[in-house]
Amino acid sequence: KSRIIVDCDPGVDDAIALLLAFASPGEIEIVGITTVNGNVSLPLTTRNALRITAMAGRQDIPVYPGCSRPIILPGHPREPSVHGLDGLGDLGVADATHEAERQHAVDFIIDTVLREPGQITLCPIGPMTNIALALIKEPSIAGKIKAIVLMGGAVFSPGNTATDAEFNIWIDPHAAQVVLSSDIPITMFGLDVTRHATLTQERFERLERGSSPIMKTAIAMMRYYGSGDASLHDPCVTAFLIDPTLFKGVDAAIEVDCDPAGTYGRTRATPIENGAGKDRPTCHVITEVDDERLFQLIDQRLRLL
Ligand code: BDR
Ligand code: CA
């Protein structure tokens, strides 16, 4: 069973990733949710993390607000048509009555990893500002993090924010470079795989056969998110912890382009099998998904909530 910290910027697909984890207590235990500036501003991602936990009756999972901006360069103006002005599709999801913790996300990550060395898996599904700052503030945590399973990047395929850049990396490429150059075992779900994890119209219709209030909200959010087919980017991360056999990947050394005059936010790979890159930390880059089985997992699990 994975004990995880979900570092997120909800965000419609972040919300689905969290719901999938809540519905999978046999495989996943969330010790805390940390929030970051990303799809919407930090106050809104924090509000949304609280709203999602409240919606699922999981007020027992603490929410820690993190960084309010990228490390070096301000992010681009967000496109409200993607996740809505409120970040959850402007559907009027009820506000939580409980509050976020007072401790900062960066300190929560450090304290938790130090308290349970080798036990905690970090799951960043937004820009990686909090994770990078935790590694900078307390470098000794690097050897004590069990693994990082992240959503971000586009190694072998085009980006979705700039020509070559995926959103989470593009917002804070410097943070991503700090994380990806660490020695921590990393599994990376970039657009290479997540754009094949889609909710097609036919799958939306299958989801609609389950009609709990939570399922209805999840469907409405995803319909807002994907005007045509909707990509299940972030849920791939929590699905991997439930059933890693859904995915296949390759090992590579990854570097992030941080030059604003270049392909800013691009994730470049040096395949390990070429012999090059052997001296650099490696990352398991996921490239394939059994998308039908992934869909079935999400469909079955969300019905349990
Ligand atoms: C990523 O960007 C965000 O919009 C999604 O929540 C996901 O984490 C996909 O590029
Ligand atoms: Ca996200």
Query: 211: pLDDT confidence band, cut at 50, 70 and 90?
Result: confident
Quick check: CB of 34 below 6 Å from ligand 1? no
Q: What is the pLDDT of residue 81?
A: 83
Query: 182: pLDDT confidence band, cut at 50, 70 and 90?
Result: very high
Ligand nearest to C-alpha 169 = 1
Q: What is the pLDDT of residue 271?
A: 63
Quick check: CB of 225 below 6 Å from ligand 1? no
Which amino acid residue places its CA nearest to atom 10 of ligand 1? 167
pLDDT at 272 over 70: no
Which amino acid residue places its CA nearest to atom 4 of ligand 1? 39
Quick check: CB of 234 below 6 Å from ligand 1? yes
Q: Find the 40 Cα to ligand 2 centroid distance in Å.
A: 10
Ligand 1 atom with least separation from CA of 10: 6
d(CA 81, CA 89): 9
Q: Find the 279 Cα to ligand 1 centroid distance in Å.
A: 30
Mutate to test the pocket of ligand 1, among 227, 234, 286 (most ligand atoms within 8 A of CB): 234
Q: Quick one: average pLDDT of 11-21?
A: 98
Quick check: CB of 233 below 6 Å from ligand 1? yes
Ligand 1 atom with least separation from CA of 13: 6
Q: Find the 144 Cα to ligand 2 centroid distance in Å.
A: 25
What is the pTM for the complete model shown?
Answer: 0.96
Q: What is the pLDDT of residue 80?
A: 81
Residue 233: active-site member: yes
Q: pLDDT for 127-163, tens place per residue? A: 999 999 999 999 999 999 999 999 999 999 999 998 9
Judge whether 87 and 234 are in contact, CB under 8 Å: no
DSSP string, the chain: -EEEEEEE---HHHHHHHHHHHT-TTTEEEEEEEE-SSSS-HHHHHHHHHHHHHHTT-TTS-EEE--SS-SSSPPPPP-HHHH-TTSSTTS-PPPPSS---SS-HHHHHHHHHHHSTTTEEEEE-S-SHHHHHHHHH-GGGGGG--EEEEE---SSS--SSSSSB-HHHHH-HHHHHHHHTSSS-EEEE-HHHHTTSEE-HHHHHHHTT---HHHHHHHHHHHHH-SSSEE-TTHHHHHHHH-GGGEEEEEEEEEE---TTSSTTBEEEEEGGGSTTTTS--EEEEEEE-HHHHHHHHHHHHTT-
Mutate to test the pocket of ligand 1, among 125, 188, 193, 232 (most ligand atoms within 8 A of CB): 125
Mutate to test the pocket of ligand 1, among 9, 40, 41, 237 (most ligand atoms within 8 A of CB): 9
Q: pLDDT for 57-82, tens place per residue? A: 999 999 999 999 999 998 777 788 88
Q: What is the pLDDT of residue 276?
A: 60
pLDDT at 120 over 90: yes
Active-site pick, 83, 104, 233, 284: 233
